[in-house]
Structure 1
Amino acid sequence: MKPVLEARRDAAQATLDRYRGQPFRFGRYDCCRLAAFHLRQLGYKPALARGGSYSSALGARRALARAGFASLAEALDTLGLERIPPAAAIVGDIVQADGEDAFGALAVVLGNGRIIGWAEGHDGAEVMQMIAMNTAWRVPPCPKS
């Protein structure tokens, strides 16, 4: 088994490689799919996709409800991930900022104050400075894997 920080770094790199430059598209390239992919890289089985497919904000909200969650934060909490202050987030952690809708926006921490995610004014998912995050979760490799 590789060291924890190495596993976290490799998972963050895989997430960056898969999503960087991908235009936002509900149900394919969105923050929920990004976070679920990242969690799978670390051995988790996120229930985020349990609600089925969707192609709009309304469909995403319905899929989240079908999966049994009121919010993306609740879905992450059910994995047993520790909530931490966003300023304490390190490579491989997941952070959330307020979004244009009620969902909020999830992103993966790459380290050195940078995240991968989507933001207004960008054509696709990009590496950005981590600012205005309101929630974060520590994401160590899953102990069950």
Structure 2
Amino acid sequence: MKSFCRAAMIALAALFGVGFASAAHADSGTISIRIVKAGFVIGGSAGSGVLHFHGHNYPLSIGGLSYGFTFGASETRFHGRVTNIHRPSDVAGVYAQGGAGAAVGRGAQAVVLTNQRGAVLTLTGEQTGVIVSLDLSGLALSLK
């Protein structure tokens, strides 16, 4: 619980800090990620992905926890853009989100997330599985 609170605080600081950070020299790239989420009250997620930045591919590792009402399992494949980065390592960090949702079968997903470095993920994708959730979740991305 203590690490969850810390992740939530970092995410809030990142959200407020984005408005103050200078984006004059920031760049962008594309990202594809696959996340598998499962849980009963406390949930976990894991996955992998690829950041495409300045003509190079950078493999990503993804992990996370959620706390609240979570029941079931799902897989989501996201594709989109990452903005406000200067180097590939700026993508690494904790992204926090609160939300409610349910999926049975297939469903479209869209999300915008920010980490403590100001990197902004704008993702769309498709979720498959059976899951119901009303939770706060933290997602940690790291370069492999």
Larger Rg: 2
TM-score, normalised relative to structure 1: 0.31
TM-score, normalised relative to structure 2: 0.31
Bigger strand share = 2
